């Protein structure tokens, strides 16, 4: 007799990332969209498009708190996590050999971590 593989008795397999990753990816997208709007407003409000004004867009302080750097770091972390979810799902959907998939996921994760470290090194050295 054939297995009942539909309805409430269906066999559900996989990592069950679905809902959590869907919500996290939407939240990171909102963070990036808001930060993009902040950058656009900041660029439009610049008196002149010079290096000093561009740098000030990322290094402004409010009550001695480096708000520009904190916002940029938050946006970049959101970008990295958003990219990780998307690329990981691509590897999980389209790469069938488990060893190759694991290698690609590890390389992607190392690349994203390296990008975050490089970003932080550049931004927080200003």
pLDDT digits (tens, 9 = 90+) for 40-91: 999 999 999 899 999 999 999 999 999 999 999 999 999 999 999 999 999 9
State which CATH number among 1.10.10.10, 3.40.50.1110, 2.130.10.10, 1.20.1300.10 fits the domain covering 19-124.
1.20.1300.10
Is the sign of the CA dihedral 112, 113, 116, 118 positive or negative?
negative
Residues in the annotated binding site for a ubiquinone: 94
Question: How far apart are alpha carbons 53 and 9 in whole angstroms?
Answer: 61
How does the average pLDDT of the chain come out, rounded?
A: 90
Which tokens sit at 2? 């054939």
Q: What percent of the chain shows pLDDT beyond 70? A: 87
Residues in the annotated binding site: 82, 94
Residues in the annotated binding site for heme: 82
Coil, strand or helix: which one is 78?
Answer: helix
pTM: 0.82
Cβ-based burial of 59 (10 A; exposed 0-12, middle 13-18, buried ≥19): middle
Q: How confident is the model at residue 28 (pLDDT cuts 50, 70, 90)?
A: very high
């Amino acid at each position: 007799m054939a297995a009942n593989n539909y309805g409430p008795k269906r066999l559900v397999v996989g990592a069950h990332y679905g809902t959590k990753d869907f919500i996290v990816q939407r939240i990171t997208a909102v963070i990036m969209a808001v930060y993009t709007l902040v950058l656009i407003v900041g660029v439009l409000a610049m008196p002149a498009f010079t290096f000093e004004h561009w740098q000030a867009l990322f290094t402004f302080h409010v009550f001695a708190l480096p708000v520009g750097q904190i916002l940029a770091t938050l946006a970049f972390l959101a970008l990295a996590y958003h990219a990780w979810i998307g690329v990981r799902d691509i590897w999980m959907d389209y790469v069938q050999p488990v060893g190759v998939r694991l290698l690609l996921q590890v390389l992607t994760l190392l690349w994203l971590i390296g990008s975050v470290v490089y970003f932080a090194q550049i931004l927080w050295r200003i």
